[in-house]
Amino acid sequence: MQDVVQDAGFGMHQLLAAGAIYLAANVLRILRIAILCMQDRTTMRRLISVHMLLLWPNSVLPFKVLELVRLAGFVGFAKSHVEGGAIWLIERASDAIALLLLTAWLSFLVVPPEQLRLLQLLLIVFLFFAVSSAFAVKTILPYFYDDLLLRSRSKHGLAGFWIVCRFQEYARIVEALLKGRALAVLLLAIFIWGLELFAISIVFGGSNIESVVSRLIESLSQSDARIREFQEPIQIFLLVLVIAGISLFSIRRLRSNAD
C-alpha cells in the first residue's frame, strides 16, 4: 500500500494527516445532518447511515457521481420524500455559499486563476436560481394556488395544482428545518470546506495559495493525473460495495416495514 501511495506522488504521513482532517470534516457533515434532523431521531440515524455508507466512494469517484445516489438515499430514507430532498438541498446550498465565501477570500489574497473564476460563476448562478426560486415560491405561487384551486378543473389544471402544492410543501419544510439553525448550518459548511482545503494543501504540499486553489478545482472533478492514478484500482471495487450496501440497506428497511 505504501509503495502505491508513493508511486502516486503522496507521502504516507501526508496521506494520514489529510485523512484525519478529511474525517474531521465529515464529522462536521454528520453534525450538520444531526442539526437538521434533531426533531426526528429515526430520520437522523438513517441519513447519517446513508452519508457514512457513501463517504469514501463519493470522495474518490469522479465528478461526485454518487451525489445522485446520496440524494436518492436521503429521499428514500427520510421521514418523507420531500423532507429528504429538502435536507439535501439545504446541504448543497450551504456548501455553495461556503465555497463562494472561501474562494472570494482567496481571490483577495492572489490573482484568481481562470478555473477559480469559473467555479465562482457557477456558484453564483446556482445561488441566484436558488434564491429566485425561494422568492417565487414564497410570493408568487400562492396566487397560482388560489387561481388553480378556484377556477381550474381540467387535467392540466389539476397537474399544475399538484406541482404548486409540492413546491409549497418544500418551502414550508425548508423554512422549518432552517428556523433557528441557519447560522449553525452555514458556519459548519464554512468549517467543513476550510478543513477540506487544508487537507488538499497537505496532500499536495501546497506551499502557496495558488497551489491550494488549483488543487481545490482539480479535486472537485478528480481531474489530476496523480489522483486518477491512485483512484483507478479501487473505483470499481468501491462501486460494487456501494451497490451491495444500498441493496442490503433497502432490503432491511423493507423487511422492517413489513414487520
**Ordered mean pLDDT values, 10 residues apiece, the chain (259 residues):** 47 77 91 92 88 74 68 84 89 90 76 68 82 74 66 68 77 88 94 86 62 59 47 52 60 55
Report the pLDDT value the prediction gives residue 13, as an integer from 0 to 100.
75
Q: Where are the alpha helices (DSSP H) in 179-224?
A: 182-203, 209-221
Half-sphere exposure of 13 (CA within 13 A, CB side): 1
Report the pLDDT value the prediction gives residue 228, as an integer from 0 to 100.
47
- Angstrom distance (rounded) from CA 52 to CA 30: 8
C-alpha cell at 103: 474562494
Report the pLDDT value the prediction gives residue 181, as an integer from 0 to 100.
92
Report the pLDDT value the prediction gives residue 108, as an integer from 0 to 100.
72
Pick from 214, 178, 169, 138: nearest CA to 38: 178
**pTM exceeding 0.85:** no
C-alpha cell at 242: 456501494
CA angle in degrees (0–180, nearest 5) for 250-26-226:
100
| pLDDT tens by residue, 223-257 | 444 444 444 444 555 555 665 566 556 546 655 65
Hey, is 8 helix, strand or coil? coil
